[in-house]
A and B are shown apart, each in its own frame.
Chain A
């Protein structure tokens, strides 16, 4: 039940007859009794909310930053027309800040016995599963003096997937991959190390690749082509511990790591490698394993959608042993973590040898552009102290990276915008060098 502004306005206008014509209890009664009666009639004539039928349909997943449309079908089975305001409640992050109220409310009019479809446009600002809350309907009477109000629970979930902004780099990286493959129109020798096939010599080919034995068997000169290794295993390990929660720009480090992981996965699955994913802090948060090339990226995106940084220290020992259990021998293990000195030196370094003994390890870390900016700050004394602190932090990072490099780990340290292409380049160069 709810009164409307019109009721309050009529009551306020009623003070004129009460004051001028009959200033007594009689006057008060003469104004308010008809008003109450009208409200009661309105309440009785409003379409009942409880008997409305509500069903949903529409998008179940959307990429962060895009719009999801969820339809709500409202059936009015009663004999009275429905004039109502409706609020389709979702968590606040389902809309851009400031548009929550406008986005969730709609007014509708449904004649008796008919149904209408409403569309709620969601524009989520956060990853993860967004579950609809209740649908509240305020059904007005014909005079709009009084309303019935009630709620329905119509469950629906929209999964908001990582934006994968780095997919714009994918065409260029794929072109580079085709060069490696020897399949490009550019006459460069495929840089892989695995024998692929023989073909006729074309002027411009590297004469060192001529297969004399095959040439002897036929009339033309044959050359060997090479291709990069295929069917290698790549395990992407996302560290979801406390260091991944720190915000670089306005997104956590984890989001930049995810972006890089997705680009690498897209590239590697095209290059014929098998990609698995492990997200770990003190327990397994997500594990994607053994998917086919066409299926791996959707599974990864789905698994990453609900991943959030946890405010706990990562258990490097547990992470290492889980990675060893997950990855077959000779895999490329891509650790997406941070290069902070303490967690690496105390956590990862003591157990790193177990990984490097059996696998090739690539460590990618999100650098903070703010620190670079601080390191270049000049002018006031405060700025110099900031520059000194930033220089100190950078040199610690370099030292940590050097320690890792000495143990055979390839380190990629880049700002969020550059991390994904840098990681892809590192992967391609490892592939080109045949070090996978």
Chain B
């Protein structure tokens, strides 16, 4: 018999090639994309990336024109300063570009003019070290547009005024020979104020100068503060007395050190600012970099799955007894001892009735059940009426006792 219970073959699944000729070209079962599909899929994104990159390059090229190489003696841009350097070279002044504070400090000397293009980019430490080097060097220091914080360190006694000059073309108005010879120039910009007695204040605007000449307290050195960089620009050099003024200011020494400060300027020279990574040996740093590459490879190795997850419809899990358990908890929470006792008593009576020969319909009538039951009890005088039909128990202990007594009664009847 069991032989015929063997299941029949279910509908034959599609078997791709069992009947096909072995030499026949087989359609591929591969679901991985071919290189052609990959190219078709990704070319849109690749094109978008190329366009994005080209746009970025174009925008950068267009935008960077104005500020690129600003005040750089090597730059021929409108705001570069190559013309100044060429003119000075004709006059026998050699120009050297320095980019670090240390180089600027070593360059300072009696035969050198030190031009600082943007002193505001220097840190406090750099400014004080620079000032210490230039103070007694005997050379000239030209500060181009120092703001309020840097002028205080580099030219003590000078303060920068908050409001800039309204005019950009000013006449000298002072006895400085260079300014007198140059005449009107493109000065203006930041205005300064000083209480130093032997300072020369030139190119006044509303009474405040935009060019200050401060001789050093001792020695032959001096400091020149310029409120505007315009006279150094290539495209402003041929205007008015700009060229004359520049050549006189920068041509007094045979050497010109042109200091272009930047934010990334000689950080390692600041011994107090050396970080943790500067202190560990370089072997460790590069070794760690290589380890990071290894970690990235390990992550790729672990992240690549052998095929995607397979999904499946899961069955619902509902216990059939859930409603009964819920009802039990409801009884418990509501302390429904009357209901619970009734249920237990009814169940016991239903089970007792056939044992003592009472029909199920009469099982819940005390006048039929109790007499039939009494004859089966061994202990005479025991009255099962309060147990089977009595009032509901007053507390949980009484309820537990009731359940136990009902069990005992049933056991007694069964074994009698």
Contact = CB atoms under 8 A, between A and B. Distances in A.
B407 interface: yes
A55 B16 contact: yes
Given A14-B290, A18-B290, A395-B350, A155 B340 contact: no
Contact of B31 (A57, A134, A309, A381): A134
A118 interface: no
Contact of B294 (A15, A308, A381): A15
Interface in B283-329: 283-291, 293-295, 297-298, 300-301, 304, 306-308, 310-312, 315-325, 327-329
Interface string B26-41: 1011111010000000
Given A15-B287, A55-B17, A149-B304, A247 B346 contact: no
A170 B320 contact: no
B310 A391 contact: no
A290 interface: no
Interface in A28-61: 28, 31-32, 49-57, 60-61
A390 B344 CA distance: 9
Nearest to A93: B312
Contacts of A371: 321, 324
B29 A154 contact: yes
A102 interface: no
Contacts of B391: none
Contact of B319 (A49, A370, A389): A370
B407 A391 contact: no
A387 interface: yes
Interface string B385-412: 0000000000010011001100100000
Interface in B1-41: 1-2, 4-10, 12-18, 26, 28-32, 34
B68 interface: no
A18 B283 CA distance: 7
A148 to B, nearest CB: 9
Contact of B347 (A154, A164, A379, A395): A395
B175 interface: no
Contact of A31 (B26, B290, B322): B290
Contacts of B9: 60-61
Contacts of B308: 89, 134
Contacts of A87: 306-307
Contact of A247 (B13, B318, B324): B318
B286 A393 contact: no
Interface string A1-35: 01111011101101110111001100110011000
B328 A298 contact: no
Contacts of A152: 28-31
B271 interface: no
A384 B343 contact: no
A151 B312 contact: no
A8 B292 CA distance: 10
A322 interface: no
A110 B320 CA distance: 53
Nearest to A388: B340
Given A167-B5, A247-B319, A382-B332, A60 B10 contact: yes
B282 interface: yes
Interface in B101-125: none
A11 B294 contact: yes
Contact of A12 (B29, B282, B291, B327): B291
A95 to B, nearest CB: 11
A267 B322 CA distance: 34
A83 interface: no
Interface in B328-380: 328-329, 331-332, 336, 339-341, 343-344, 346-347, 350
Interface string B146-158: 0000000000000
A91 interface: yes
Nearest to A174: B1
A106 to B, nearest CB: 11
Contact of A54 (B29, B300, B347): B29
Contact of B331 (A136, A161, A389): A389
A348 interface: no
Interface hub of B289, B320, B325 (most chain A Cβ within 10 A): B320
A151 to B, nearest CB: 5
A16 B399 CA distance: 78
B328 A153 contact: no
Given A15-B288, A60-B10, A393 B324 contact: yes
A218 B403 CA distance: 71
* 5 tightest Cβ-Cβ pairs between the two chains A and B: A19-B287, A136-B307, A246-B320, A388-B340, A298-B8
Given A266-B1, A389-B340, 13 more contacts: A5-B301, A14-B294, A53-B26, A55-B15, A60-B9, A155-B16, A161-B7, A167-B2, A174-B1, A245-B318, A262-B5, A294-B4, A370-B319
